[in-house]
Amino acid sequence: MIAFPVIDPRSVLFITLDSCRYDTFAGANCPNLKAIGPLHKAMAPGTFTFASHAAMFVGFTPGIAERNEPYVNPTVGKIFRMSGVGFGGKGTDFIKLEGRNIIDGFKRKGYLTIGSGAAPWFDPGRATSLQLMESFEHFFYPGDKWSLGRQLDYVAGRLVQNAAVRPAFVFINICETHIPYWHEGAAWDREKSPCIPFAATNDADECRRRQTACVEFVDRLLGPILAAFAGATTVACADHGDCWGEDGLWDHGIHHAKVYEVPLLFRLGRAG
């Protein structure tokens, strides 16, 4: 694995654990991610990958509506404030950006913008993906949902080449936590998903076991990049969760509390 360079403290790391339920994350042994900051049970802005990322990329990160607290509640104060988008806020936003989305906004501020998304919604061969990935200067789509190691090598390589001269905005969408909940070297068959809408073979206990193992696997791989960004801004969350039999429902893309319920952690450094 490529080593990460010294990171400008104005830099930002934004990680999304695709489909990761809050309760899975809370119960997992993931010390690197949990060291980012307090764990919040937040509500996602969408029920599936595209919708949630499109919202987050204009500043609507997961939040808790009942909390009168900036960043935990984006209505009170946003981590990423896009000019002219949504409620004007109370002047408590962390960083204000101009442009078509936060990636474009950071680029306009002189940041190096690096992204990698493993969900098919980030596939550059699909026209639907352009809204999510075309603003990045450097973007890598691995072609499958279980390539976090390759994603991290790509990001590290771009940082080694460019980060010495300017701060970076780095985004990573991780899909080991997405159905079928599989990671490289896992002992179970990735072709047999325990979570399929209306299937008779679904198994909530197996879903939890697998997703927990995937969270713990990605936490180990994320250790070096999280350490590299320890003095910078880091945000980690899920884009949505999954139903595992609640009210007879499975998977995501549906309006249910378990789909909206996600982990949110952040540590804010220097605004750019």
The predicted structure's pLDDT at residue 89? 58
In terms of pLDDT, which residue wins out, 109 or 272? 109
Please answer whether residues 4 and 162 qualify as being in contact, where contact means their C-beta atoms are separated by less than 8 angstroms.
no
One of 3.40.50.720, 2.30.110.10, 3.40.720.10, 3.30.70.100 is the CATH number of 12-267, namely 3.40.720.10
- First vs last Cα of the chain: how many Å apart? 29
Torsion-angle region of 247 (φ positive above 0: left; ψ -120 to 50: alpha; else: beta): left
Give 95's contacts (C-beta < 8 A, 6+ positions apart). Answer: 12, 79, 80, 81, 271, 272
User: Which tens digits make up the pLDDT trace of 98-125?
Assistant: 999 999 999 999 999 999 999 999 999 9
65 Cβ neighbours under 8 A, 6+ residues apart: 43, 73, 75
Q: Which residue has the tokens 């009942």?
A: 66
Q: What is the DSSP letter of 133?
A: H
Nearest to 17 by CA among 113, 94, 117, 96: 117
Backbone angles phi, psi at 80, to 5 degrees: -115, 110
Question: In the chain, where are the structural domains located?
Answer: 12-267
CB count in 10 Å sphere of residue 143: 11
Query: Mean pLDDT of all residues in the chain?
Result: 95
pLDDT score recorded for residue 164: 65
SS3 165: coil
- Interval 6-49: pLDDT, tens: 899 999 999 999 999 999 999 999 999 999 999 999 999 999 99
Please, which pLDDT band fits residue 226 given cuts at 50, 70 and 90? very high
The model's pLDDT over 75-86, given as tens digits with 9 standing for 90+, comes to 999 999 998 766
